[in-house]
Amino acid sequence: MKTASWTAFLLCLVPAIARAQLSVEADARGVIEARVGGTAYLSDLAVSVVAPGWSGDLANQRAVDPAAVKVHREGATTTYTMPLAGGALSGLLIERIVRDKDGATLEFEVIPDREVELEAVLLRGSLATAEHAGKTAYLVDDPDGARGVLPASLDADRHIAWSGEPDWLGLERPGAGGLRISPQGARLQLQDDRKWNAPHFSLLAMTSGGEVLARKPIRLGVALRAEAAGALAQEAAKPVPAAGTDDRPLAIVAPRLDRDRVDVFATVTLDADVHARYDNPFDPEQIAVDAEILAPDGRKVDAPGYYHVPFRLETRGRAESLKVAGAPGFRVRYAPTVAGAHRITLKVKDASGEVRAEPLTFTAVASKSPGFVRVAPKSPRYFAFDDGSSYFAVGENVCWANGRNPLATYGAWFEGLGKAGGNWARLWLAFNEKGLEWSPAPTPKGGIGAYQGLGRYALDNAWRLDEVLRIAEANGIRLMYCIGTYGEFKDGGFFNEGSWISNPYNARNGGPCARPEDFWTDPTARKLYKQRLRYLTARWGHSPFVFAWEFWNEVEPSPVVEAWTSEMAAYLKAIDPNRRLVSTSYGSPPIWNDSNVDFTMTHMYGQGGGTLDFTDRIQGETHANLKFGKPYLLAEFGIDWQAGDEKWDPEGRGLNMHNGAWASIASGAAGTSMLWWWDGYVHPKNVYHVLTPVRSFVDSIDWARNPMKPLGKIAVEAPADAPETFADLTISSSQGWGRTPSNRYTALRDGTIEGGPVATTLGSPRRGGDGKELYSEVAWTLDLPEAGKVLVRIGEVCTAARLRIALDGREVVDRALPAGEPGKGPWKGARLLEPYKVWVADYDEDVAVEVPAGRHALTIANADGDWMQVKSITLPAYRSSRFPDVDALGIAGDDLMVLWVHDRRSTWRDPYAGEPPVPRKGLKLAVPTDSTDAWRVEWWDTFRGVVVRTDEARAGAGALTLAPPDFERDLAARIARTP
């Protein structure tokens, strides 16, 4: 048995106000104990790598054999290098203890040998309850000013004392010096481990998880510093003040405008000293501040006001902090939409009555601003500005920044996006650094910012959102504000996104809802949500750079959700002076048909790199949504819902983003496919370049005045003198979950599929749900030129399944497919589906079926168990070379057509697999049209955004026949009727 020896580093720190002594001791594995004087603040401090879903450790520093650890000392630095191994992970851990005159910095690098999926890298140290429970105080230098005492006894529902990304967190035991912990590249969490029957508290420093590439280091660390007794409390940030109260007689004092002359669509701000009686300045039933505007055209407009606290931004190193910079007050923002003299009157109402100020005047002058984005009146499947010019959305998601410098981060993102031609981005206003309403710390799923609970808003985050909007406007980017997300109403989840435990609407937090589903029907919950909508409209509704309000991210529609959405959309339209666009996700026919919901949206991902080309899915989703007669956006998009596009495109070529954008354009969407992976892919790999040629192309089209609809099938033919050959055809399933419109498909010789999109997941008849969620079988009609083996590729299996395949009604395959832990069966991998505590096994296996030549029916079914995936089928020698493997998508109006011609071999996997593009030569297109007119055809290089050739062509016999230039990967066409 080996015994770990101890190496001690004693660091004597002498602050000016008193002496405090920090001792950092590390054993042979580098496991640390940190003391200040005689108090052990952090014991057993070491790194572990956590498996997805917090289902255990992939590797743990504490389990490393000391004999395998190499120790190197040089000057003030001691370095420990050791192997990490366990389960799916193998790699290296490098730990450095760096001493300086002020303390010690602990740096850690985890370097995996191979690609691995993980939940987090975790640096954990413990505080013994016998020494610290009921005694040791914690203080956080953060806007919420969190502070408290580690509890004497466990509160199982409040086991997380604090969680966030502070400048520092301090611990101080009475009568002892304190310990300051400053995170580096990590989020901190202080929790009570007695919840799991462990006799200690834990301080966790953790990174985010996901797919990690081989040899890509994951870095985190903390800086430790001893402090004299009481010093931490003196230095800790003063918390953002709670919302004010007032008990003065109702009055308006000194109303004032920030300017008396303003551009049309720019903002004028009205401030005043307001006296009233209230204890919640956000509750319009206690105090309502509004402005009444009389426009020069005679219209009367009501604009709601809001309560605010001014802040200033301070930066220390790269860390940002917000400091209160003045007195709180009430304010109204308004953007005039017409030129001329305006009269604005402030009015305030409380329980005692209403008072009105004397009117003030300002003049709006004509400007170059195009105004707010609307649905185009003449082309209602597209967007237009107030001045009638077109707006085609080109952009991505940038939902949160987190980190210690969110404003600088947004500045970098928006600069990159704007310079590339992007004009649209989506933000989340959930409980991140821009959120308004959440449970205050301490709470198990804490947010970022000075949250004040239900019906009261985080004013530091509101100021930060002001700045984010200002940065976006400076870069020409309009923002869609997504107000909430489905995770607020659940627990668990693949990404551990469930947050109902900390939702302020939860009755256990003092809210009105005993269950998540009560949120949609409870009168108090609906009233409080409308109150938040009023605040959003009052504070940001003035800006033309707020593109739209999106109620939810990925909340599943139901009758009560549909009724709620209708109610809230009508309310928003009633209180928003500018009646900006409104939408939500997910939608349903009742939602999309609502007159107050302006555009439709969906989200689209593959899984595990199984979808190479999303073109058919994008076209199908777009066409299905266009039937509602409204603009459509594919608002989230990515290769793999579980891992960023950087996993599949490590060089940042951007082919998936490129193909998605052009497929959306040519299918009839009102914007590009909005990629999700902004922070780990688009920005660090500078994939913004994909959008530059897209913007050049869409700016060449007047979408607002050219209503267009999808074209019928565009025939693509190879050169007539080429011999006919047949190649294998692989048909990837295109809808990862849920029932598709049909489960019966026909594979044509040109490679297209009738009846698609193709369902991926089959649920057994025993699964429940009356088969409404998943089909139990899919049926294929095939016509093989010659006999051969059809390959059915099996993907993931949840719990168990039973694969049955029938050919022309005769069963040819009957196979049980169990699931279990990794390495315990015939599957290639497995993951624990944490919310349900069941195993999902990935078979990634082809099942062969001998099929004779000719026409046949092939049925693939899941006869038992839970669910299974059919990822693809491959048909031998099926595709005729007379029909090239090329997509031709198009939309057309009376005088304009848009085409995208795409070699289906050009996918994100080409550069991933090192496969060079192969030129397409001599193709012919037959574009369906009733026209017999002449057309001017501009052929566009989609990677450079320039016209490479211009042709003249005349339509006839039901088609416009075109001969595109030779191309690699894809090209686009803008086709205009010749006058």
pLDDT tens digits, one per residue of 126-171: 999 999 999 999 998 875 567 889 999 998 777 888 888 888 999 9
- Lowest model confidence (mean pLDDT) among 34-38, 41-45, 126-130: 34-38
pLDDT over 60 at 787, yes or no: yes
Chain segment 605-618, per-residue pLDDT in tens: 988 888 889 998 99
pLDDT at 14: 32
Top-confidence residue, 209 or 457: 457
Q: What is the pLDDT of residues 579-598, one digit of tens each?
A: 999 999 999 999 999 999 99
What is the C-alpha to C-alpha distance for residues 506 and 503, in angstroms, rounded to an integer?
Answer: 5
Provide the CATH number for the domain around residue 277: 2.60.40.10
- Print the domain residue range for 255: 246-365
Give the position of tokens 């899919």: 778
How buried is residue 706: exposed, middle or buried, by Cβ count under 10 Å (0-12/13-18/19+)?
buried
* Domain CATH number, residue 504: 3.20.20.80
Same domain, 520 and 663: yes
Q: Among residues 235, 267, 290, which one ends one of the domains? A: 235
909 and 766 belong to one structural domain: no
Taking 80 as the threshold, does the pLDDT of residue 20 lie above it? no
> Which tokens hold the place of 487?
């995770």
Least confident of 54-58, 277-281, 628-632, 849-853: 54-58
Instruction: Report the CATH number at residue 913.
Output: 2.60.40.1180
Residue written as tokens 């407009």? 301
Over range 688-701, report the average pLDDT.
Answer: 99
Q: How many CB atoms lie within 10 A of CB 589?
A: 11
36 is a domain residue: yes
Q: What is the pLDDT of residues 669-679, one digit of tens each?
A: 999 999 999 99
pLDDT at 145: 66
Q: What is the DSSP letter of 836?
A: G
Of 308, 374, 362, 312, the C-alpha closest to 338 is 362
Does one domain contain both 323 and 411?
Answer: no
Tell me the CATH number at 732. Answer: 2.60.120.260
Phi, psi of 946 (to 5 degrees): -135, 155
Is 616 in the same domain as 512?
yes
Of the pLDDT bands very low, low, confident and very high (cuts 50, 70, 90), residue 403 is: confident
Is 258 in the same domain as 190?
no
* Alpha carbons 863 and 764: distance in angstroms, whole number: 5
What percent of the chain shows pLDDT beyond 70? 96
Domain count within the chain: 5
Please give the full DSSP string across 395-424, using - where no structure is assigned: EEE-----SS-HHHHHHHHHHHHHHTT--E
pLDDT band at 15 (very low <50, low <70, confident <90, very high): very low
**Domain match, 864 and 791 both:** yes
Residue 374 within any structural domain of the chain: no
Kindly list the distances between the CA atom of residue 138 and the CA atoms of 131, 148, 179, 189, in Å, as whole numbers in the listed order. Answer: 14, 6, 10, 12
Same domain, 692 and 812: no
- Residue 768, pLDDT score: 67
Beta carbons of 27 and 15 less than 8 angstroms apart: no
**Residue 591 falls inside a structural domain:** yes
Residues 861 and 919 in one domain: no
406-415, 488-497, 552-561 — which is least confidently predicted?
488-497
The set of long-range contacts for 570-574, using a CB threshold of 8 Å and a minimum separation of 24, is 570/596, 571/530, 571/533, 572/533, 572/537, 572/596
Q: Give pLDDT, residue 452.
A: 93
Instruction: Identify whether 408 is part of a domain.
Output: yes
Residue 820 CA to residue 384 CA, distance in Å, equals 53
pLDDT value of position 453 = 95
Rounded-to-integer distance, Cα 664 and Cα 671, Å: 7
The reply to whether 452 and 529 lie within a common domain is yes
Instruction: Indicate whether 799 and 657 sit together in one domain.
Output: no
- 485 pLDDT more than 50: yes
> Is 778 a domain residue?
yes
* Lowest mean per-residue pLDDT among 237-251, 257-271, 477-491: 237-251
**pLDDT for 17 beyond 50:** no
70 burial via Cβ count (<10 Å: 0-12, 13-18, 19+)? exposed
Task: Point out which residues pair with 404 in neighbouring strands.
Answer: none
pLDDT in tens, 878-935: 988 888 889 999 999 999 999 999 999 899 988 766 778 889 999 999 999 999 999 9
Confidence band (pLDDT; 50, 70, 90) for 766? confident
- Region 848-869: mean pLDDT is 97
**Mean model confidence pLDDT for the chain:** 92
Average pLDDT value for residue range 935-951: 98
Domain boundary among the residues 671, 704, 737 is at 704
Helices 406-419, 459-474: axis angle to 10 degrees equals 20
**812 within domain boundaries:** yes
Determine the pLDDT at residue 11.
31
Considering the domain boundaries, does residue 385 fall inside one?
Answer: no
Supply the CATH number for residue 170's domain: 2.70.98.10
748 and 627 in a single domain? The answer is no
Residue 16: band (very low, low, confident or very high) from pLDDT cuts 50, 70, 90: very low
What is the mean predicted confidence (pLDDT) over 438-466?
92
Residue 382 in domain: no
Exposure letters 364-390 (e unless 16+ CB within 10 A, then b): beeeebbbbbbbbeebbbbbbbbeeeb
The residue count for the chain: 979
Give the CA dihedral 291, 297, 298, 303, nearest 10 degrees: -20
Query: Are residues 665 and 622 part of one domain?
Result: yes
**Of the residues 348, 365, 382, the one at which a domain ends:** 365
